[in-house]
Structure 1
Amino acid sequence: MAELVLCEPTELYNILNQVSKLSRLAEPNYLCLLDVRNKREYDESHVITARRVKQKGSEYLIPESVDLECVKYCVVYDSNTSSLEVFFEEKDDEKSDKDRQVPVLGTAIEYARVLSRFTRHPVYILRGGYECFSALYHFFRTQKIIWMPQELDAFQPYPVEITPGKIYLGNFSQACNPKIQKDLKIKAHVNVSMEAGPFFIGDSDKLLHIQVEDTLDANITPFFRHLCHFIDVHLELDSVILVFSKLGISRSCAALLAYLMHQNGQTLKKSWIYLKRCKNNMRPNRGFVKQLQLWEKTVIGDIVTDILDPLF
């Protein structure tokens, strides 16, 4: 049987917002998101692209046209399951106290156990269920049931979440999108690109513009201290921050790696692994990676990370 794993709301949010050339939701074997609430609750509102799990009597059915062995992420949610632990319910009869304790599983766990028999990959259970996720990301609620391939191709991802509710990583287009700014409550921006754009004019107190080219010989190191100070100040002000570059793959990722190393006093390798989990296609150019290795010495007093490691 496959392993059952709790999935944090932030993880599902980031899974939904990954891109290659297009949204990864367009890939047939990328995500299978399953809603095990009742039909009334599902019809009222569910997470985008979620399918409702159907039952035949008391038996849960496996969704049709899904090859669970090939699916990268299989995520199940109910209303509010928050733990993988079994809890016990008192049975109202005359048996002893021990015999009256009846083990009860959350609906999501129960169904995940069924799915685990059909795959070797982990089956993820959304912590807090729909109630928690929809409270955090209300803009991902929908009543839409059927998604055509062209609709998934055209799906516009949001910036990924690096620090829950505090720091996001995105591209220039997302930074200029008023709806995204409103939905994520963005208050401060770090623009790591040459482009300025009319959207940010007159916002100097809440904008740090790091003008650097995405080339192997571009020098980003002189900006690291100012970058870290800017983000620290705005976190203290309880501002939500978006760090972005033109494509959101190289320059903005290098900037956030520098900040994560500073914030947590940790190595480049540890910061890289964390950021890679948040954004699958992040790829700072080799010149930036070498500068981040030197920044590691500034942060922790020594160069520990080997950038020749296949990880990089």
Structure 2
Amino acid sequence: MNNFTYTTAGSITAALQHTKRHPQAMYIAGGTNLLDLWKYNLLHPQTLVDLNGVPGYHTIEAKEGGGLQLGALVTNAATAYHPLIEQRYPLLSKAILAGASAQIRNMATNGGNLLQRTRCYYYYDGDVPCNKREPGTGCSAIKGYNRIHAILGASEHCIAVFPSDMCVALAALEAVVQITGQQGKRSIPFADFHRLPGNAPEKDNALQAGDIITSIDLPAKEFAHHYSYLKLRDRHSYAFALVSVATALELEGNEIKEARIALGGVAHKPWRIPEAEQLLQGKPATAESFAQAADKLLEGAQGYPHNQFKIELAKKAIIRNGLMALHPETQLPGAQPSA
């Protein structure tokens, strides 16, 4: 690790002023990913600006007109177990609790969760080429061991995947990210926040230099009755998804009135195709209907030598999770399936 200076910010304005004077400064809150990258010698912060002392962003509050505002400095654990999240947005709670470990969730913040870097083996190995780490050097994963890598939205420059569980649920719920930067405040729909790799895989999201995530807004539509988050991974805990699915349904009887489906572990960002969800409108909530949506969601999927299995795995996961969303109460520990 390198020598660095450390300062605390008492306000968003103070933090922005500091990064304006020191463009190479980095913000830190929970630090669960930043410190990993630093230890691996992939980041070399010269200045850290600690945001934890900034007031006003440590709460979860109801919004006028419906919805909730999640402060960016609220921890993942506090968010998952917050009564308003458990009652009104249980899909988000379930997704958060599927991620990382209890210790990490106690430290990691909501804003930081959105900014995680990929867990690609080659990105973390500073001795091999990686376009995300060093643009223009190549993507070692394409001809390497690519079992955990993308099957959708990849490019010849990068086939890494985005690791967050929380963000898959936020994509399905159509959250909005609130940003404050050198040019003022702005809102970014969640679908537009993360990027596909294209020709610039080093750019993970739509943030500009010095920007700070202040909150994540959840819309009024909650999908509190028919939802499910399914995470398929190599071991039961503390493992990143090979494929994950967030499903939210609004039903009338057995007919689907509205559907949201987002995938994780398959692309450089949470993967959602509205056209696939539209196919479900007015259809019965059956395996056959979910299979049609899965085919649309996975249209154009491309596997590599070690991850071809993920295409079929994703299809089966979408179908299974759609059926699980019909009876979310059966997903609780010890619960019995409905008759």
Q: TM-score, normalised by structure 1?
A: 0.22
Q: TM-score, normalised by structure 2?
A: 0.20
